[in-house]
Structure 1
Amino acid sequence: MAGVSAVYDREGEHIGWKVSVRKKGFPPQFKTFRTKADALAWAAVVESEMVRGVWRDRSESESTTLKECLARYATDVLPERKDGGRHGASFLLQWQGRPIASRYMSSIRGQDVALAIKDMEAEKKSPNTIRLHLALLSHLFTVARKEWGMENLSNPVELVRKPRLPQGRDRRLIGDEETRLLNACSKMNPEIAAVVRIAIETAMRQGEIMGMTWAMVNLPARTVMLPDTKNGTRRIVPLSTAAVEVLTKLPSRLDGKVWNYTQDGLKAMYRKAVARANIDNLTFHDLRHEATSRLFEKGFNPMEVSAITGHKTLQMLKRYTHLKAEDLAKRMG
C-alpha cells in the first residue's frame, strides 16, 4: 500500500510530497514529487508492475546521471577495448559536455538524443562521426542495463533516426598515379614505397601493415598471419610474388618489427608523398580499395576475396568493389 506525506524545507515551507510503496517480496520504494497527484500516479504504476510481476528497480537509474555513467564507462569499459579506449575517450568527453549529461538515466528519451544529434550536425560533424558518438552512447545504456543494476532502462538511441551515411568512396588509381606515387615515396624513403606496395598487393589495412612483425611472416609459404584484426578474428593473408619480393629486400631488425616507421609517422610521410606526386584526393585506405578491386579483376570470387581482405559480409565488401568497365568489357568478348 502506498503512503504519501508532505515534505517541508528548513523554513517550514511545503515543497512537495514523498511517496512510499511497500509490498511483500519487494524492496521499499521511495520518491518525492512536487504534486500529490504525481506522487500517487507513480505509486499506482509501481504497485501495478509489482502485482503483474514486471517491476524493475528504478532507484539506480533515477539517482544516477548520464555524466556519472560516462565516468564509470571510462573506467570500467573503455580500457578493455583493443585500442585501450583511445578513440572512444574523445567521444565520451564530448558527451560529458552536452546538456543531456546532466539528466538522470531514467529520464533520457529518444527526443533528448535527437536534440544532441541536431547539435552535432550544427557543429558540422560528419554523419559517420555522429554515428560513432551514438554507438558509444548506445553501448553505455546496454552496459548500464545489464551490469549496473539499471534493468528498467530502455535504450533511447534505438528510437532515433541515424544520419544517413554518404555513398562509400570508390577512388582508384588512375593512369600513371601508381608509378608517380611510388617514385615520390622512393625519393623520400624506400620504406614508405615498400609499405605502399604491400598495401596495393595485399589489401591489408594500414594498422595491420604497420603492426607486422617478422614472426607473422612466412616467406616460404607466402603468407602473413594477423593474430588480432579489426574484426577481432585471426586472418592469414596470402602474399603475391611482388609482395614477397618487397619483404625479401627489407633489412632485418633486432626488435622483430618489419618497419621502422610508426603508424603516425607513416601517415605524415604518405600525405607528403601524395602531394609531391601531384595526386589529388587519394587516401591510404583507397589503396585497400584498389587492391580489393584488383582481386576481383583477377577472377577471385567474393568468398575468396573476403578471406583475403577480412570483410565480414558481402555487403561490406561491395562498397570496396568497383571494377574497371574496360576490363569487364574484355571478359565479355
Structure 2
Amino acid sequence: MATFKTRKKKDGTVVHSAQIRIMKAGVQAFSEAKSFEGRGAEKNARLWAANREAEVKKLLANGKSLSDLSIAQAMARYLKEHENVPKPLGKTKRGTMRLMSEEPILSTIALAEITASDILNYLRKRHDEDNAKPATVLQDLAYIRVLAKYARVAWSIPVNLQEIEDASGVASQLGIVDRSTCRDRRPTYDELQKICSYKHREKNGKGRMSEFKTPLDDIVLFAVFSARRLGEIVRLEWNDLDALKGTILVKDMKHPRKKIGNNMTLFLPRRAIKLIEKQPKVEGESRIFPYAESTIGAAFQRACRWADIEDLTFHDLRHEGVSHLFELQLSVPEVSMVSGHRSWSNLARYTHLTQAGYYDKYSVLGKELGEAGLIGQPSP
C-alpha cells in the first residue's frame, strides 16, 4: 500500500513523497520511501510507487527479497533510483557504477552476504587483470562503500560495513588501492599549436581541408587562459559575462558535496575575454560555447591522436592555465579568483612552473589576443 505526502521547502520548492509498505502474514515485510521535485513530480511519485510495489511483491511471492540482490544488481538499482533526484550523480560516478553493474564477478556476490574476501578478490581482478591503476581501484571501492551504506538505510539490507573496511585495509597494504599521485603533465606550446591546427588538417592526404563546426582551437586556448573545466566552459552564458570588469558567473562548479548551485563569479584574464569576443552569438542560444561537452572532448582526443601527442587530457589544460598564471607572477589570491580554488592546498597541486621569474609562454599571441594578465592589473 502506498501513501503520498506533499510539502514545501523553505525556498518554496514543492516536494512530493511516496512511501510503500508491504505486509506479509500481518507483519511489515518491506518499507521504502522516495521524494520527487520539479516538473511532473507528483506523477513520478505515483508511478514509482506503483512500479516499486509491484516489483517487491513479485520478489516476495517468489520467496526472494532485496537481500538477495547481487552487488551488480544493487548497483543497477541504485542508478535507477537516482535518475530523477534533486542532486543527480556526477558523470564519473554514474559511468563507473554503470560499468560495475555489468561486472561478472559482482553479479555472483550477494550484497547482504558480502565478505572482505569477496571484495578483495574483485579489487585484485581490477588491478591485476584489468590493469586499473590503484587510484581507479580505490574509486571502485569507494562506490561499493556508498552502495552498502545506501542499501542499509534505503532498502533495509543488513550489509556488514566492517567487511568493506577490512578489505580496504588489506588492499592498501598490498598496494592495490592508493590515492592518485599529483599529475604534472603540461602541454608544450608546440603541442597546443598542433591541436589548434587540427580543424584545418588535410583530409585523406589529398589536400582537402576539413573544418569542425566546433571551434576547437578557440576552446582549447580558452581552457588554458581561463583555467576552466570543460563542463564549465559549455555552461558559460552571455548574460553572465561582464567584459568591462573582466568577470563571469560560473555555474555549478565542481564541488565534493554540492553538485548543483555552486555558482561563483570569477575573473577572466584579458586573453580569455578576447576569445569570447570572437564567438558569434547564436539566436535563441544563451551559451557562449553552445556545444556538447562530449563532442568537444572527443574532438580533443582525436586531435591528440592525429598530432601524435601522448598522455594529454583536456583537464591538463586547466593545470596549464593555473601554472601559467603563476608564471605571470600573479599572487595566490589573484590566481584563486580565476581558478575558483578555495584553499592554497588545493591550488598548489596544479602549479608546475617551467622556470622562475616572469614568463609569458604565449607572448607570441599578443598581437591577436592582447596582453597577459587580468583587467585592471598593470602589465609587466
- Per the normalisation by structure 2, the TM-score is 0.61
Q: CA deviation at 1:299?
A: 3.2
Q: Which residue of 2 aligns with 1:125?
A: 132
Q: Does structure 1 residue 321 correspond to structure 2 residue 351?
A: yes
**3-state SS in 2 of match to 1:258:** coil
Indicate whether 1:242 and 2:247 are aligned.
no
Aligned residues: CA RMSD: 3.5
Task: Report the Cα distance in structure 2 between the residues aligned to 1:270 and 1:152, rounded to whole angstroms.
Answer: 43
1:203 corresponding residue in structure 2 = 227
* CA deviations over 1:223-282 (Å, ceiling 9, x no partner): 221221221321222111111111112110112222243222222332344455564443
Greater CA drift, 293-302 or 94-103: 94-103
Distance 1:325 1:270, change over 3 A: same
Between 270-279 and 126-135, the greater mean CA deviation after superposition: 270-279
Q: 2:112, 2:158 within 8 Å by CA — same for their partners in 1? A: no
- Equivalent residue number for residue 70 of structure 1: 75
Higher alpha-carbon Rg: 1
Q: How far apart, CA to CA, are the structure 1 residues paired with 2:292 and 2:324?
A: 27
Is 1:142 aligned to residue 166 of structure 2? no
Distance between the aligned counterparts of 1:243 and 1:204, measured in 2?
10
Which AA in structure 1 matches 2:161?
Answer: S
- AA in 2 matched with 1:324: T
List structure 1 runs of 4+ shifted beyond 6 angstroms: none
1:219–1:139 distance in 2 versus 1, CA, 3 Å: same
What is the match of residue 309 of structure 1? 339
Residue type of the alignment partner of 2:263: R
Deviation of residue 64 (structure 1)?
A: 4.9
Between 302-311 and 135-144, report the one with greater CA deviation: 302-311
Q: Which aligned pairs between 1:28-177 and structure 2 lie closer than 5 A? A: 64-77=69-82, 79-80=84-85, 82=88, 88-121=94-127, 122-150=129-157, 153-159=160-166, 160=168, 161-162=171-172, 163-165=177-179, 167-174=181-188, 176-177=190-191
Distance in 2 between residues matched to 1:89 and 1:167, nearest whole Å: 22
Runs of at least 5 residues in structure 1 that lack an aligned partner in the other structure: 1-26, 29-58
**Which range moved further: 82-91 or 67-76?**
82-91
Shift of 1:206: 1.1
Task: State the secondary structure of the residue aligned to 1:114.
Answer: helix
Q: How does 1:183-222 map to 2 (within 5 A)?
A: 183-185=197-199, 188=211, 191-222=215-246
Check 1:117–1:285 CA distance in 2 against 1; reply closer, same or farther (3 A cut). Answer: same
Structure 2 residue identity aligned to 1:72: R
* Equivalent-residue separation in structure 2 for 1:88 and 1:244 (angstroms): 34
Rounded Cα–Cα distance in structure 1 between residues aligned with 2:65 and 2:343: 39
**What letter corresponds to residue 354 of structure 2 in structure 1?**
K
How far apart, in 2, do the equivalents of 1:151 and 1:219 lie?
56
Give TM-score scaled by structure 1 length. 0.69
Number of residue-to-residue matches in the alignment: 274
Partner Cα distance (1:179, 1:128) in 2: 32
**Shift, 1:114, TM fit:** 0.8
CA contact (8 A) 2:236 2:251 kept: no
Percent of aligned positions that are identical? 24
Correspondence 1:236-315 to 2 at 5 A: 236-254=265-283, 255-275=285-305, 279-311=309-341, 313-315=343-345
Tell me which amino acid in the other structure corresponds to 1:143.
Y
Q: Which amino acid aligns with 2:248?
A: V
Q: CA deviation at 1:131?
A: 2.6
Structure-2 separation of matches of 1:96 and 1:179 = 40
The SS at the match of 2:287 is coil
1:15 matched residue in structure 2? none
Deviations 1:127-154 (CA, angstroms, capped at 9, x unpaired): 3332332222111111122333246642
Q: What residue ranges of structure 2 are gaps of 5+ in the alignment?
A: 1-26, 29-63, 202-210, 360-380
Q: Which structure has more helix as a fraction of its residues?
A: 1
